Amino acid sequence: MNTLAGKRIIIIDPRKIITEVEKNIFATWLETWEDAIQNDLKLGTELYSDEFTRQDEICALYDFDRNKCIGMAFFRYVNFECETSQKDSYFSEWPEEAQKKLIKKGSKIAVCSQFTVALAYRKERSPFKWKDVVMFSIVNHFIYNTMCDSMTGAVRINKSVNTASYSSGATLLLPNVKNHIFNEYEDLVAFYRGDVISYFNQNKNSMFETLITNSFVQEKSA
């Protein structure tokens, strides 16, 4: 039975895929989303690497004991005081109501997307659900490694990513919003910095204690 021993949260620059760990993270993203596009979403479209490389950074949960990536999410950083951020394509399907709620506690936003759990870990027996551990890891990166006021989430309902989000302190902004690219419904959520910290302080558990005591490992490219 798997445990959290040997698991670390790591941050990589997606424009510099050099080390074996970085290559494994990219390969995991590619494999997982190619499978989703063809077999789950049935879009019949091709997945291009610039979806990965145009991000500011990738936050991944890595299993160093097995040299495998468990899961990840993409991060970009925007400031709604700038008009360029207000016109960002990520928010094209976000109603104005949801955008206003997102920035009510500050304009500096971490745009989190492409929540991913590797196929090999989805049904693996473990004391924890890997979906929850990956989500928890991503939120911890937002809290401890960024200066953003809030983090976004357009989270899939049929894969219960919305449930994992609420279990890590997310606030619902708008439910059941149609994603016209994926042809499915999502919840729009926000992770407000202060609210998430309060939530973690009130809901500490063994997963929290194990991950929070692990040092963040920054993979450096040569």
Are 62 and 25 contacting, i.e. CB atoms less than 8 angstroms apart?
A: yes
| Three-class DSSP category at 35 | helix
Token reading at 130: 């890997």
Question: Which domains does the chain show, CATH number per domain?
Answer: 7-218 (3.40.630.30)
Q: What is the pLDDT of residue 40?
A: 80
Q: Please tell me the distance from the alpha carbon of residue 179 to that of residue 65, in angstroms, as a whole number.
A: 37
Lowest mean pLDDT among 170-174, 199-203, 215-219: 215-219
Answer whether residue 215 shows pLDDT above 60.
Answer: no
If you average pLDDT over each of 46-50, 93-97, 113-117, 136-140, which comes out highest?
113-117
Answer whether residue 58 shows pLDDT above 70.
Answer: yes
Are 155 and 117 contacting, i.e. CB atoms less than 8 angstroms apart?
A: no
Q: Please tell me the distance from the alpha carbon of residue 19 to that of residue 39, in angstroms, as a whole number.
A: 30
185 — alpha (psi -120 to 50), left (phi > 0) or beta? beta
| Three-class DSSP category at 141 | helix
Answer whether residue 2 shows pLDDT above 80.
Answer: no
Residue 137: Cβ within 10 Å count: 27
Are 67 and 24 contacting, i.e. CB atoms less than 8 angstroms apart?
A: yes
Q: Which pTM value belongs to this model?
A: 0.90
Give the H or E element holding residue 71: strand 68-79
pLDDT per residue as tens digits for the range 170-190: 999 999 999 877 889 999 999
Q: Please tell me the distance from the alpha carbon of residue 154 to that of residue 161, in angstroms, as a whole number.
A: 9
End-to-end CA distance of the chain: 36
Q: Give the residue with greater pLDDT, 192 vs 39.
A: 192
Q: Please tell me the distance from the alpha carbon of residue 153 to that of residue 189, in angstroms, as a whole number.
A: 5
Q: What is the pLDDT of residue 54?
A: 96
> Is residue 93 packed enough to be buried (19+ CB in 10 Å), middle (13-18) or exposed (0-12)?
middle
pLDDT per residue as tens digits for the range 98-116: 999 999 999 999 999 999 9
